[in-house]
Amino acid sequence: MTDISEIVIDSKEIINYLKSEMSLREVCQKILYQRIINNVAQEKSIIVTTEEIEIEADRQRREQRLEKAVDTLTWLAEQLVSPYDWEIGIRNQLLAQKLAQTLFAKEAEKFFHQNRQEFEQIVLYQIIVTCEKLAQELYYQIEEGEISFYEAAHIYDIDEHRRQKCGYEGKMYRWAIQPNIAEVVFGSPPQHLIGPLRSEQGYHLLLVEEVIAAELTPQRYQEIINNMFQQWLTSEVQYLLNSGGLYVDPF
């Protein structure tokens, strides 16, 4: 058996592997993300303190159940990371969070209220079949009480996973549903059989179990900030790439 600790992998081999896996561009983009974060944070005098890094490090240790210092060092060694590398990673993570809050905290609430409808949810069940005639027959059978919606989904749906769950799709946002279907289901009262509606997948019969009003919870608020921050980073990187292209120095 070969001891992996004795194996040396040089930077050129790593870069060549990333190229062969078509992953090098993604890694380079993340490096550019961090450069942008560092530059803008410096412009705005945003810093991460030693105490903040220690608090996050302790949280990660608890998450990994690392009770002793030697356990932490062993875990880091297994990840091929030094304690210094770990601290840099934590600092970068916290810096990104602080910058995102600074740039978009005020915009997030405004964005939610302007797009409130998109954050409405429904608890949805659906049946999809490939034949319009079958969809119509199932609609009438369900309406007449000859078969329940859930039984029909379990027997006839084209998707095995959905059949096993008797048509249950779960909580869904408006934006996650095809627009023409979303317009109908969000405009229908709960427990009302809908369909058949046609899509590229087939013919849909739908049942809305519950409508969940849009609410700006702390989790959703943070999701909006994170999405706005990621979109901003992506546009900044794209601007850099369009301006001068991307060159990777292999050494």
Q: Let me know whether 153 and 96 are in one domain.
A: no
Residue 251 placed within a domain? no
Collect contacts of 211-218 with beta carbons under 8 A, ≥24 apart: 211/120, 211/121, 211/122, 211/186, 212/120, 212/121, 212/122, 212/123, 212/171, 213/120, 214/112, 214/116, 214/117, 214/118, 214/119, 214/120, 214/121, 215/119, 216/109, 216/112
Predicted local distance difference test score (pLDDT) of residue 162:
94
1 belongs to a structural domain: no
Task: Say if residue 163 is in the same domain as residue 207.
Answer: yes
> Do 31 and 110 sit in the same domain of this protein?
yes
Does some domain include residue 181? yes
The predicted model gives 216-230 an average pLDDT of: 94
User: Are 108 and 51 in the same domain?
Assistant: yes
For residue 146, tell me if it sits in a domain.
yes
User: 28: domain range?
Assistant: 9-114+219-244
In this prediction, residue 2 has a pLDDT band, given cuts at 50, 70 and 90, of very low
Q: What is the pLDDT of residues 31-67, one digit of tens each?
A: 999 999 999 999 999 999 999 999 999 999 999 999 9
pLDDT at 120: 87
CA distances from 174 to 5, 23, 122, 184 (A): 51, 33, 8, 11
User: What's the total number of domains in the chain?
Assistant: 2
Specify the pLDDT at position 117. Answer: 85
Question: Could you tell me if residue 135 is inside a domain?
Answer: yes
Q: Are residues 88 and 175 in the same domain?
A: no
The answer to whether residue 249 sits within a structural domain is no
Residue 85 and residue 21 in one domain: yes
Same domain, 92 and 175: no
202: nearest Cα among 145, 162, 148, 144? 162
| Residue-level pLDDT at 72 | 95
pLDDT at 1 over 50: no
Confirm whether 166 is domain-assigned.
yes
- In a domain, residue 4? The reply is no
pLDDT over 70 percentage in the chain: 94
Residues 224 and 185 in one domain: no
| 205 and 126 part of one domain | yes
- pLDDT by residue (tens digit) across 174-189? 888 888 888 899 888 8
Q: pLDDT tens digit string along 108-148?
A: 999 999 998 888 899 999 999 999 999 999 999 999 999 99
Cα distance between residue 88 and residue 94, in whole Å: 10
CB atoms closer than 10 angstroms to residue 190 = 11
Q: Sign of the CA dihedral 187, 189, 190, 195?
A: negative
Distance from C-alpha of 170 to C-alpha of 121, rounded to nearest angstrom: 10
Asked whether residue 48 falls in the same domain as residue 110, the answer is yes
| Residues 99, 143 within the same domain | no
Query: Parallel, antiparallel, or unpaired: how do β-strands 168-173 and 203-212 relate?
Result: unpaired
Is there a single domain that holds both residue 183 and residue 226?
no
CATH code of 206's domain:
3.10.50.40
